[in-house]
Structure 1
Amino acid sequence: MHIDDWLQAIPAGWLYATVALVIGLESLGIPLPGEIVLVSSAILAAKGIVHPAWVAACAGAGAIVGDSAGYTIGRKGGSALFARLGRRFPKHFGPRHITRAEHYFTRFGMWAVFFGRFVALLRILAGPLAGALRMPYWRFAVANVLGGVVWAAGTTAVIYYLGLVAEKWLKGFSWAGLAAAVLFGVATTLYLRRRAASALDEGDL
């Protein structure tokens, strides 16, 4: 079952809880598809199945609480924690990933926490790594709250309003035009993903 179908099959209250739980666990340092769950829930909000404000609020709460818990774990576990995670999840916590994330934190400080919410690699590592590197908690908390709110509310709003506009627009749209739009969207997405992967390989944020 696709994640959209699975989310649509559960009651609204449980869907909100699922959004908060998955994003919270991802922010804690567990590699889960938090962003996919948020986007899928925002699409369901555009269809009128759930309320977008509750989706954004639960996503933001999960992000902030999860990152804060990750910070505490990272502060207590230190580098030994990432060594264990690297052996268990080499695709997400391998030496190359940790070194790159540490570079971002050393170079950008609080901004790495804020913008890390928007980058797949840093979204998982931000909380634990900030704690392990002994970033002052007040600095981490400010960046964590601002990043969580902007990411959750912004992503939900964009997907929600795009869904509303697309639904009205597609009612009078020809199938040929729809196919062309889909192909253009896929090509653009692949291009942007390739550019993002290339930038990460070069060590850019």
Structure 2
Amino acid sequence: MTVDSILESIPPLAVYLVIGLIIGLESLGIPLPGEIALVSAALLASRHNLDISPVWVGTAATIGAIIGDSIGYSIGRRYGMGLFERLGRRFPKHFGPGHVALAKQLFHRWGVWAVFFGRFIALLRILAGPLAGALRMRYSRFLAANATGALCWAGGTTAVVYYLGLAAEKWLSRFSWIGLVIAVVVGIGLTLLLKERTKKLIDQLEDEHDWETLRRHD
């Protein structure tokens, strides 16, 4: 069963609660498909036969992101960087040394902007809250960047997907499916390219981490 079919089978109020919960848990540091859930809900809102409001989808996603990131921040502040070492041993696919090293590098370079733009990047969306807390970023600065980033990401994604869904319905009703196919292919291509570049950076940082570990043992 897909995320789309699950959301379509439940009442609108439950849709908003599920979206907020999934995105909140992802922001807290649990690897869940928050972006997929948001896109699916926004697409459902563009269908006239369903009573789902895009405004409430975006609102639920924003609130979930802010609360989840804030809880993640508190956890990271309490347990420090040791938290990521333990998570890395249990979940190396999401919290491996390369992932954490890349996130730390972005935080040290961009500071509070890493929190804002992290909302748009899958890797940082999971790590931003706990890592900001572990690195002792001031909470007032974190909250400001977290809230504005969540609002731009959730509201912007919902609006774009919603209006694309409306446009797609018009295109499909006129049999103009070629433009839709091109848009989907371009979107998938850009996503794969970004994932590949991120993976290369992570692999490089993991190799550097392994080399540094060997040097320390020597």
TM-score normalized with structure 2 length: 0.87
Q: Deviations over 1:128-154 (max 9, x none)?
A: 000000011111011000000011100
Tell me if 1:85 matches 2:83: no
Q: Mark the CA change 1:119 to 1:75 in structure 2 (over 3 Å): closer, same or farther.
A: same
Unaligned runs of 5+ in 2: 203-218
CA contact (8 A) 2:102 2:201 kept: no
CA contact (8 A) 2:88 2:96 kept: yes
Q: Displacement of 1:172 after TM fit?
A: 1.3
In 1, Cα distance between equivalents of 2:37 and 2:188 = 20
Q: Deviations over 1:4-32 (max 9, x none)?
A: 11110011111110000000000000000
Whichever residue aligns with residue 31 of structure 1, its letter is P
* 4+ residue segments displaced more than 4 Å: none
Unaligned runs of 5+ in 1: none
Identical-residue share of aligned pairs (%): 56
Counterpart for residue 36 of structure 1: 36
TM-score normalized with structure 1 length: 0.92
Counterpart for residue 23 of structure 1: 23
List aligned pairs for 1:31-180, cutoff 5 A. Answer: 31-48=31-48, 49=50, 50-173=52-175, 177-178=176-177, 180=178
Whichever residue aligns with residue 121 of structure 2, its letter is V
Whichever residue aligns with residue 171 of structure 1, its letter is S
CA contact (8 A) 2:29 2:129 kept: yes
Counterpart for residue 9 of structure 1: 9
Q: Displacement of 1:199 after TM fit?
A: 3.4
1:83 aligned counterpart, secondary structure:
helix
1:31 aligned counterpart, secondary structure:
coil
Q: Displacement of 1:125 after TM fit?
A: 0.2
In 2, Cα distance between equivalents of 1:186 and 1:154 = 18
1:32 aligned counterpart, secondary structure:
coil
Counterpart for residue 186 of structure 2: 188
Q: Deviations over 1:49-94 (max 9, x none)?
A: 2001110000000000000000000000111111111112110000
Q: Deviations over 1:152-200 (max 9, x none)?
A: 1000000111111221222111xxx52x445423431342123313432
Aligned Cα RMSD in Å?
1.4
Q: Quick check: 58-67 or 48-57, which moved more?
A: 48-57
2:190 aligned counterpart, secondary structure:
helix
